[in-house]
Chains A and B, each alone.
Chain A
């Protein structure tokens, strides 16, 4: 292989999705700062980070689930259910710590239901979680109806809207950072993580390698349920508002962030780093456009286009790479032929 082929190949391998995202992130931050003088202020970043906390939390376990080639569309409904339950419990004079615990448990049970239906009956997770999306949201409405509960205790809402002392980082965001690190460790530095990639990459091979696929998937769905419930609790405290329709539509934003982060729906690929980068990217874009008074609808168009590009681009790059590789191989063959012909 010639020298320039080797270096191009090294460059191509370094040009992976996370790098592209990192570059886009830098451009976005620079662009934002250039377009708006208030962008790079601590208060703005506090708002920016606070705005996507719930979606960020939803996206973490969702990434793992998508890597195993499953999906969980019921995350936002579990968020809403948890929020409604917390409000109802608080109104019934249950203490906050107990209420929070119950909500997390209910979230885990909801996730277990998802996992059970997918694993035990072999149903496609897309169908199951579309069903539970409606089911759990329905439960939320059964609990609260059209009511809204608002008077949560100040210590808890203070956590929801406050920041870590002396910084601009919102307190709930600290939770996200901790969970992100935990998930990163699990996915990239434990055997569980290896197994997750294996199941997504080639489920049959994983099965014959002795991976307990069923148990793994159920655990992932339980984690997704519990963390969605946590997101619901944080949402409730941030806005001091418990309603059955809280979080409607969040699942789409979470999935968009996951896919933009490089976790393809075909399974077996993706990193937590990529997902965190994409969450930041979408958050920054939303923030910059809102500061420029761009309408809500345009924001959605931008996020949607970004998502389409994120799905198209890897495909385009992969096919371009394939064509380049074929061409190089043909060149090599031609060279060998001329050499042997010259002999």
Chain B
């Protein structure tokens, strides 16, 4: 009798656990020991360091072997040798923040032909060159909110300029396009974009470009710099120049770099998201692709560690979330 009872109990327990396992079948496992290469725009860019740091943290979580390699200049072609090396090293996935939407495509296609999964983050390539793009926030939202912030601070009238990164960086041009569309609205009719300057995501060049802008357009009311290198350099120039307080500076930047400029009044408000989360999400997306759990099609969902469940949108785009606005009230709460 006792033995029969034990067998019954065992049967019940095991069937319950099987049902439990079946319930978890939705949560398909990520393969261990995946090899992932991260290729930033350039290797000594603080923003890229944070972003790909997040990617490497995710690699550790999933037991993947991750590394970050990249060029020291932001040239379109400079990333190509690293893509080729990743192919030769038979990596499972490549994460890349592209310097150019088109130049990398033939080489990324070669990678995908070799069954290497390609995920772009921060700055996309044309969809043919990758399976998924991790967009930090809706590009339209970024463009609109930057114009709205500037307009608020300059009273909806005046000339302003944009200090961008490199001329063909995909993300920059997308945001600028949405900024220009937002500007067409009637409430901004007295605001004029007089120049787009390019600092190439280099500190020194961004600094001199800011100087040039202020000298060429003495009536400039504001500068939008949607690049963390650009806004930091511009802030550095403005805060030590006679223009401090007279010109509005806003854009995308990291709290740690801009904290002193918010405190001394050079910048009132700027925005960003957590770049580390972008990298983190990219690693998970790549790992799920490489494990065969998703294919990058619209509507598919996957889990991304601490970031929870994510759904793939149109054209393989995954949004991280809305941007955060930083100002003197909240800037001390963040450390990146």
Binding site for B on A (CB under 8 A): 38, 41, 43-44, 47, 51, 146-148, 150-151, 157, 161, 235, 238-241, 243, 245-246, 290-291, 293, 295-297
A241 touches B76 (CB 8 A): yes
Indicate which residue in A41, A240, A293 contacts B106 across the interface (CB closer than 8 Å). A240
Q: Give chain B residues whose Cβ lies under 8 Å from the Cβ of A157.
A: 106
**Interface pair B89/A38, CB less than 8 Å apart:** yes
Q: B88, A150: Cβ atoms under 8 Å?
A: no
Whether B80 is near chain A, meaning CB under 8 Å from some CB there, is yes
| Cα of A150 to Cα of B129 in the assembled complex, Å | 15
Instruction: State whether the Cβ of B191 lies closer than 8 Å to any Cβ in chain A.
Output: no
Report the separation of the CA atoms of residues A249 and B183 in the bound assembly, to the nearest whole angstrom.
41
B305 at interface (Cβ–Cβ under 8 A)? no
* B-chain residues with CB within 8 Å of residue A240 when the two chains form the complex: 102-103, 106
Q: Which of B71, B77, B80, B89 lies in contact with A291, CB distance below 8 A?
A: B89
Complex A-B, nearest 7 residue pairs according to Cβ-Cβ distance, in ascending order: A239-B77, A241-B76, A47-B84, A241-B103, A148-B168, A150-B102, A146-B167
B80: which A residues are within 8 A, CB to CB?
Answer: 239
Instruction: Say how far B169's CB is from chain A's closest CB, in angstroms.
Output: 10
Is B81 an interface residue, CB under 8 A from the partner? yes
Q: Does chain A have a CB within 8 A of B43?
A: yes
Q: Are B102 and A151 in contact, CB atoms less than 8 angstroms apart?
A: yes
Give the CA-CA distance A161 to B108 in the complex, in Å: 12
8 Å CB contact of B103 from A51, A150, A290, A295: A150
Cross-interface CB contact of A38 among B82, B90, B168, cutoff 8 Å: B90
The docked-state distance in angstroms from the alpha carbon of A151 to that of B43 is: 27
Is residue B265 within 8 Å, beta carbon to beta carbon, of the partner chain?
Answer: no
Assuming A157-B106, A240-B106, A246-B77, what are 13 further A-B pairs, CB within 8 angstroms?
A43-B88, A47-B81, A47-B88, A150-B168, A238-B77, A239-B80, A241-B77, A243-B76, A245-B75, A246-B75, A290-B81, A290-B82, A291-B89
B residues 7-59 in Cβ contact with A at 8 Å: 43
In chain B, what residue has the closest Cβ to A41?
Answer: B88
B69 at the interface (CB under 8 A from A): yes
User: Are the CB atoms of B85 and A161 closer together than 8 Å?
Assistant: no
> Which residue of B has the minimal Cβ distance to A43?
B88
The answer to whether B102 and A146 touch across the interface, beta carbons within 8 angstroms, is no
- B43: chain A residues at CB < 8 Å are 295-296
A–B Cβ pairs within 8 angstroms, 27 of them: A43-B87, A47-B84, A47-B85, A146-B198, A147-B167, A150-B100, A150-B101, A150-B168, A151-B102, A161-B107, A235-B77, A239-B80, A239-B103, A240-B102, A240-B106, A241-B75, A241-B76, A241-B103, A243-B76, A246-B75, A290-B81, A290-B82, A291-B89, A293-B69, A296-B43, A296-B71, A296-B72
Bound-state CA distance A150–B204 (Å) is 26
The 8 A CB mask of B70-112 against A (1 = contact, 0 = none) is: 0110011100111011011110000000001111001100000
B contact residues around A290 at 8 Å (CB): 81-82, 85
Which chain B residue lies CB-closest to A157? B106
**Residue of A38, A146, A157, A297 with highest tally of chain B CB at under 10 A:** A146
CB distance from A233 to the nearest CB of B (A): 14
Q: Which residues of B contact A147 (CB under 8 A)?
A: 167
Q: Whole-angstrom distance between the alpha carbons of A243 and B76 in the complex?
A: 9
Contact, CB under 8 Å: B90 / A51? no
Report chain B residues within 8 Å CB of A161: 106-107
Q: Does B67 sit at the interface, judged by CB under 8 A?
A: yes
**Min CB distance, A25 to chain B, in Å?**
20
A148 touching B88 in the complex, CB below 8 Å, given contacts A240-B102, A240-B103, A290-B81: no
CA distance A291 to B84 in the complex (A): 10
How many angstroms from the CA of A41 to the CA of B77 in the assembled complex? 23
Distance of A90 Cα from B250 Cα, bound (Å): 37
When distances are taken between beta carbons in the complex, the residues of chain A under 8 Å from B77 are 235, 238-239, 241, 246
Q: B81 to chain A: which residues have CB within 8 Å?
A: 47, 51, 290
Q: A151 to chain B: which residues have CB within 8 Å?
A: 102
A240 and B103 CA atoms in complex are apart in Å by 6
When distances are taken between beta carbons in the complex, the residues of chain A under 8 Å from B89 are 38, 291
Contacts of A43 in B (CB 8 A): 87-88
Q: How far is the CA of A161 from the CA of B198 in the complex (A)?
A: 29
CB distance from B105 to the nearest CB of A (A): 8
User: Chain B contacts of A297 at CB under 8 A?
Assistant: 72
B65, chain A: closest CB distance, angstroms: 11
